[in-house]
Amino acid sequence: QSSDIWHIEKCGRTIIFHTLNRLIYLNDENLGSIEPWNNGIFHNVFKTSQNTLLINGLDAGWFYFAPHKKFALMNVQGLSIPADKCYSVLCTGKNSFLFFFRNSGIYRVRFDGESFLSAQKISGKKTDEWLAEKQVYNACFSRDSSKIILGTLAGGAYLVDNSDSLSSFTVLSGMQNATGIVSVYGVFNDPSFNTWILGKRNLSLLPSDLSMAYESFRGITVRSLVRLKNELFVASGNGLYALNIQNGLFANPKIICEGAFNKAVQVGDTLYASTGNMIALYHHGKLSLYDSPFFINDISVIRNSLWISTQNGLFEGLKNLQNNTPTIKDKNILQSIAS
């Protein structure tokens, strides 16, 4: 059935596709799905261990999905935590996590894979109001975990000391425009612990020393990033771009293909990127385009195959991808599978 896939996670040998109204799981070539109880939704999912997915069901409560337990959806036992929109869960140690809620503040929680063993609210009223006003959306740690970098929908990106209280949020230099409002949809670390900040209409880089955030370019809607050697590929609503990275900064941006791109993934030194109706393959400077008869929501590389989520279902598009020999059996990649 048609479902917009929000997240793709791997638990053991099982691949899990998260949509609002179902979890779709793939294990040893077998597909199955689980729906929320009592007409609820799966608001968000968080991988808390190699084999466990924690699920925020809002008013329906919290669940966990463990493929090794007969692919069943289970209620989290133990203490209660808020049935609020949770946008980020950071691991701080074995079975220890920080939960960032939209309206209920910040909690330090111990979760052993089945039960909430403890739950301590560590934010005060002022911080709770600030989180709700700025609309916290995601978070990640600095290199030494001494600070947390927060992205918000209504206030840009912020730094906060990773302390017992998590207060005194400081806006990042270079992350506010003339109106003081920058919508941040993603903050994440690369292997060098530089932090990439995806804004609604810009892309910025925060070096690992947490100095000023450098804006790469303005006026594009960043959807996805892939780094291949010294080039950063940007799938955006304005096209597919390549940026040369020199000394941690950007230089010589060039457009590879025009179009409203949604996602980019890599296999070896090959880039695959998707719009709503086509997939672009970029390899050693050569661009190839492949049409789709169905509207494409998302693409992902799983077990050396390119999986494609469309409004007409989930398809395995390119099979047995090789690092240096990208191949597509049919010019129309999805039609050959659907038939």
pLDDT digits (tens, 9 = 90+) for 33-64: 888 887 788 999 998 887 889 999 998 889 99
Where do we find the tokens 């195959």? 305
CB neighbours of 324 closer than 8 A, spacing ≥ 6? 268, 269, 270
**Cα(271)–Cα(171) distance, rounded to whole angstroms?**
34
Q: CB 199: neighbour CB atoms within 10 A?
A: 22
pLDDT in the model for residue 62: 93
Looking at residue 1, its pLDDT comes to 45
Which residue pairs from 22-27 have beta carbons closer than 8 angstroms and sit at least 24 positions apart in sequence? 23/53, 23/55, 23/65, 23/73, 24/314, 25/65, 25/67, 25/71, 26/302, 27/67, 27/71
Rounded-to-10 torsion of CA 135, 138, 142, 144:
110
DSSP state of 316: E
d(CA 204, CA 37) in angstroms, rounded, equals 40
Distance CA 257, CA 6 (A): 25
How far is the C-alpha of 196 from the C-alpha of 182, rounded, in Å? 14
- Decide if pLDDT at 99 tops 90: yes
Please tell me the predicted confidence (pLDDT) of residue 318: 67
Contact by Cβ (8 Å): 303, 289: no
Distance of alpha carbon 88 from alpha carbon 98, whole angstroms: 8
Span 134-158, average pLDDT:
87
Cross-strand pairs, 204? 197, 215
pLDDT above 50 (res 324): no
Residues 233 and 225 sit within 8 Å (Cβ to Cβ): yes
In the prediction, which pLDDT does 192 show? 67
pLDDT of residue 134 exceeding 80:
yes
User: H-helix or E-strand containing 250?
Assistant: strand 249-257
Residue 333 has pLDDT above 60, yes or no: no
pLDDT of residue 117: 95
- pLDDT confidence band for 109 (50 / 70 / 90): very high
Q: What are the angstrom distances between the C-alpha of 307 and each of 1, 97, 310, 320?
A: 15, 31, 10, 11
- Residues 56-75: what's their mean pLDDT? 86
What's the pTM value of the predicted model, to 2 decimals? 0.74
Q: 58 in helix, strand or coil?
A: helix
Confidence of residue 217 (pLDDT cuts 50, 70, 90): low
Distance separating alpha carbons of residues 328 and 235, to the nearest angstrom: 21
* Long-range CB contact pairs, 230-239, < 8 A, 24+: 233/264, 233/271, 233/273, 233/282, 234/203, 234/264, 235/261, 235/262, 235/263, 235/264, 235/273, 235/274, 236/261, 237/261
In which band, very low, low, confident or very high, does the pLDDT at 187 lie, cut at 50, 70 and 90?
Answer: confident
pLDDT beyond 50 at 337: no
Residue 2 above 50 pLDDT? Answer: no
Q: Tokens 């111990």 correspond to what residue?
A: 110
Tell me which residue has tokens 């000023």. Answer: 212
The residue type of 194 is N
Listed residue (198, 206, 216) closest to 148, CA to CA: 206
